Structure formats: C-alpha cells, structure tokens
C-alpha cells in the first residue's frame, strides 16, 4: 500500500510567504509530510485526491478550548462569565465528571473540531484525578487530532483554598514521562495554570517554574473582567523576570498599553477568544491593541458550553470587532473611515500560522510548506455560499462555514473525506455522549436558566 497522496488541481492558500498562492497546483504528501508543491506534479504509485473546485489550505489551529465541555454544550447560551464559573466549576457540573465521561467528552470535542477543519487545538483541561487525566488523553489520542494537552487543575469546591492552589507536580511529571516523552507525535504537553489572578503569587511562580522544568508551554487566563485592570500581573511577571515565549495569556482584554508591549517584546503570546469575550463580559477583544504594540494574536474557541467549536465564527468575530473598535474612534472624531485597519488575510494567519507559533509548533504546521507535516483542509467552492470565488482569502474568512469543509488531513492521514468523518461510529458516540450527559445532570441537575426539551 502506497504512503503517497497526490492532491491535484486545488486552489492553494499556502500561507507560506516564500511560496505564495496558486490558482491551481498539486501537493504531494509522503507519509506524514508535505514533499512537494507545484503545478502539474508528475508522480506515480500514489493515491490521487481530486481538489478541483476546492480551496486547499492549512488546518485551523485553536489555541484555547475547554474541550470536555462539548458534553454539556449549549446549556450556557445565555450565561455571563460569573454564571459560567459558578455553574461549571467550584463543585458544580465539572465536579460530576467520571473518568469515562471525560473520555467521551474529549473524544466528542476533538471530533467536532476535526469536522470543522480544526486540525490542532490546545485542550485547556480540568483535572479531577489521575484517572481523569489518563482518559482525557486517551480520547485525544484516539481522535486523530493534533493537540497540546494542557494539564490543568481541579474545578472542585475547594478551588479557592490555599491548599487546593498547590499543584502536585508529581502527577504532572508522571504525565510528561508517560505520554509526552517525545515531541515527535501528534500530542504534546502544556501546563494550564490558574495564574497570578486566580491563585497566590507564590503558586503562580511555582507553576511557571514547573512548566519550564518540564519544557512545556504554560497557559493561563489573565487580564479580563475587573481583575486585569487592577492586578497588573504582566508588570509583576516582568519585574520578576518570568516573561518569555513559553507563556500564553488567554483573553488579556484589560491590560495597559505597556503590558501589551511587554508581552510582545518577550515573545509571549495572547489567545483571543472574541465571541466568548464579548458575550460573557471579559471585555473587548485585545486583537488590535496587541497588534499595535508589535504582537500577533492567536485565536481560540474557548467554552464550547456556550458556542460552536469552529474557527470560521471566531475569525469573523475577531475581524469585525476590531474593525468596529477602530471605526468608532474615527467616527467619534467626526470622520468617516476611509480604510479598514485589519485585513481578512491577517485574521486567517492568526488562525493558522499564528496559532502554530503560539503553541510552539510552527516548525511543524501552520503553513503548506515542503518538509512540514501535512495538516491541511479542503474547502468546497461549488456550494451556494461560495461560488463564484473572486478572492479565496475573503471566501474563507467571510463566506465559508463548517458545511463547506470537504476533507481534513492530519499528518497526512485523512480524517474527513467528501464531507463525512472517517473511522468512527457516530451513532455509538452519540449514545455514549447522551448517557454521560444524562448521568452528569442526574447528579447536578439542569443548570438554572437552561431550557431542556
């Protein structure tokens, strides 16, 4: 059986500035990697995939998702941030999760991402026990997705106690050794920490040091709501000499100009989750503020208890929120906007190569480039919402949705073809998901404000 796949006659958005775009060209995949990109490649002994009338591009990279929440999706459609926190964590819905429920939840969430063309995500996990950890990881492994498993902390009822803030590094070290001793695999490790605004300063410092001991990305929620405007945590981290490219700050809506500059200069990253931030009350998305200080934001879906798991929506929210912010400043000065301050291409880069850089994976993914892993998606242009295509980038960012995702490849392996997911019995998965959902709500009850049928 050949390990070569030839994707022919696609409209290629490589997002590799050294290669550019092609109105029509081919991609040769050998094993897990892209071997060549050229028009009319001559290759024998390979599987041929016809990409005529398709836009072929890198898979999306979601840099912040609470993947397990897919199991209780859409109960939070009307939740504020305070309502979300009091319903999901602190002894509530999340605390009811059994290890087997965690497996089902992460498998469901990872497959949802793949179906939407998200080939890589950072799974910001909630850990109740080592058994939960093992099952969450097993689900990601079986799904076929590329992921950073960000080993998190418990959301139990003692969340705010000093004792519960103390991370037990023994299990983090076990997880690293048992599952992530090699970087040459689809899954890599991160540490999801409370950070200085949700724990003591000493705990935050210890957690950052542990992440560096393990040589993994360290991600934290920071700088949003009323916390970020008071704590000035970025300045504290800078003064302590702790800022660096291995730190990822999620949201960062209410930082000062100087703090955005500190993050950009240090090489640290910001993950903007625009839809949830505007919905729940985190603050206005920091997209443009970070750009103005020399940084490049990445995008994330965030809480799938309240929104769908696709990046098409997040690109639109990020693009239009930032344009609106800038346009309002121009209008308030008595002028009409002449040009928009952010482009569709920039936002497409945030959700692909920008996300890959944030996760430390840009040497592997994020662009269609020979030598990189073959993580790519094919978008149909024959659908009513897509044709005629006059600007492929505009078509992806402003017009496309999940229904247009025809094919998805991760490390050269097809996980979706002809609009259908491969390798999984979806009816069986739905049965498992319903059973786990019913168990959780039987223990906790349906959250107030939700409207079950």
DSSP string, 145-178: -EEEEEE----STTTTSHHHHS--HHHHHHHHHH
Enter the tokens of residue 409: 């490849």
The tally of domains found in the chain comes to: 2
pLDDT of residue 41: 96
* Tokens describing residue 130: 């080592």
Between CA 65 and CA 44 the distance in angstroms is 41
Side-chain-side CA neighbours of residue 424 (13 Å): 25
Q: Are 211 and 184 in contact (CB under 8 A)?
A: no
User: Is residue 312 helix, strand or coil?
Assistant: helix
Q: What integer pLDDT is reported at residue 198 of this predicted model? A: 87
CA of residue 150 relative to chain centroid, distance: 12
Strand runs (DSSP E) across 339-435, as ranges? Answer: 376-380, 405-410, 413-417, 420-421
* Of 358 and 95, the one with more pLDDT: 358
Whether 291 and 388 share a structural domain: no
Distance CA 421, CA 410 (A): 13
Confidence grade of residue 9 (pLDDT, cut at 50, 70, 90): very high
**Residue 101 preceded by cis peptide, ω within 30:** no
CATH number, domain with residue 71: 3.20.20.140
Lowest mean pLDDT among 121-125, 157-161, 276-280: 157-161
Per-residue pLDDT at 443:
83
95-99, 226-230, 371-375: the lowest-pLDDT one: 226-230
Do 190 and 286 sit in the same domain of this protein? yes
Task: Examine the domain organization and report whether 154 and 293 are in the same domain.
Answer: yes
User: Is 347 within a domain?
Assistant: yes
pLDDT tens digits, 135-172: 999 999 999 999 999 999 865 544 444 444 455 688 99
Question: Rounded mean pLDDT of 21-39?
Answer: 98
Domain span holding position 408: 4-58+373-419
The confidence score (pLDDT) of residue 185 equals: 96
pLDDT at 452 over 80: no
What is the per-residue DSSP string for 28-82? EEETTEEEEEETT----SSEEEE-TTEEEEEPEEEEEE-GGGGGGTTTTTT--HH
Average pLDDT, rounded, for the chain: 93
Buried b (16+ CB within 10 A) or exposed e, 208-217: bebbeebebb
Over pLDDT 90: what percentage of the chain?
84
Cβ-contact 144, 108 below 8 angstroms: no
Q: How many helices (H) and strands (E) does the chain have?
A: 16, 17
Q: How confident is the model at residue 93 (pLDDT cuts 50, 70, 90)?
A: confident
Choice among 42-56, 228-242, 395-409 with the minimum mean pLDDT? 228-242
CATH of the domain at 25: 2.30.40.10
* 84 and 39 part of one domain: no
pLDDT (average), residues 418-427 = 96
Higher pLDDT, 126 or 411: 411
Three-state SS for 204? helix
Question: Do 392 and 266 belong together in one domain?
Answer: no
| 438 has pLDDT over 80 | yes
Q: Are residues 70 and 29 in the same domain?
A: no
CA 337 vs CA 248, 310, 329, 346: distances in Å: 33, 30, 9, 19
Any domain includes 49: yes
Q: What is the reported pTM? A: 0.95
Where does the pLDDT of residue 329 fall: very low under 50, low under 70, confident under 90, or very high at 90 and above? very high
The count of other CB atoms within 10 Å of the CB of residue 338 is 6
């Amino acid at each position: 059986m050949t390990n070569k796949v030839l994707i022919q006659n696609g409209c290629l958005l490589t997002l590799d500035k050294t290669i550019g775009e092609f109105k029509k060209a081919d991609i040769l995949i050998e094993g897990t990697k892209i071997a060549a990109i050229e028009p009319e490649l001559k290759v024998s002994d390979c599987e041929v995939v016809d990409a005529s009338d398709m836009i072929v591009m890198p898979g999306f990279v979601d840099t912040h998702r609470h993947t397990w929440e897919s199991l209780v999706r859409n109960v939070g459609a009307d939740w504020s941030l305070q309502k979300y926190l009091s319903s999901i964590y602190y002894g509530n819905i999340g605390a009811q999760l059994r290890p087997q429920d965690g497996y089902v939840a992460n498998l469901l969430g990872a497959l949802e991402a793949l179906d939407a063309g998200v080939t890589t995500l950072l799974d910001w996990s909630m850990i109740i026990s080592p058994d939960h950890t093992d099952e969450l990881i097993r689900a990601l492994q079986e799904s076929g997705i590329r992921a950073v498993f960000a080993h998190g902390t418990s959301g139990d009822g003692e969340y705010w106690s000093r004792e519960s803030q103390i991370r037990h590094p023994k299990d983090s070290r076990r997880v690293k050794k048992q599952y992530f001793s090699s970087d040459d695999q689809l899954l890599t490790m991160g540490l999801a920490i409370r950070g200085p605004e949700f724990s003591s300063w000493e705990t935050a410092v210890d957690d950052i040091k542990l992440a560096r001991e393990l040589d993994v990305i360290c991600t934290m929620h920071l700088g949003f709501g009323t916390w970020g405007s008071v704590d000035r945590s970025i300045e504290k981290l800078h003064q302590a000499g702790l800022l660096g490219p291995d730190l990822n700050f999620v949201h960062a809506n209410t930082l000062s100009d100087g703090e955005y500059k500190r993050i950009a200069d240090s090489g640290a990253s910001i993950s903007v989750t625009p839809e949830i931030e505007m919905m729940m009350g985190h603050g206005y998305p920091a997209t443009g503020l970070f750009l103005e200080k020399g940084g490049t934001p990445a995008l994330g879906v965030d809480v799938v208890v309240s929104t769908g798991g696709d990046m098409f929506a997040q690109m639109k929210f990020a693009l239009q929120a930032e344009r609106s912010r800038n346009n309002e400043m121009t209008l308030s000065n008595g002028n009409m906007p002449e040009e928009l301050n952010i482009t569709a291409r920039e936002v497409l880069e945030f959700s692909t190569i920008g996300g890959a850089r944030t996760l430390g994976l840009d040497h592997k993914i994020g662009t269609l480039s020979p030598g990189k892993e073959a993580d790519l998606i094919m978008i149909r242009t024959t659908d009513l919402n897509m044709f005629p295509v006059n600007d492929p980038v505009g078509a992806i960012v402003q017009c496309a949705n999940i229904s247009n995702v025809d094919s998805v490849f991760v490390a050269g392996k097809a996980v979706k073809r002809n609009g259908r997911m491969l390798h999984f019995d979806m009816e069986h998965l739905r049965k498992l998901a319903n059973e786990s959902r019913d168990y959780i709500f039987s223990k906790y009850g349906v959250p107030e404000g939700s409207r079950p049928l």
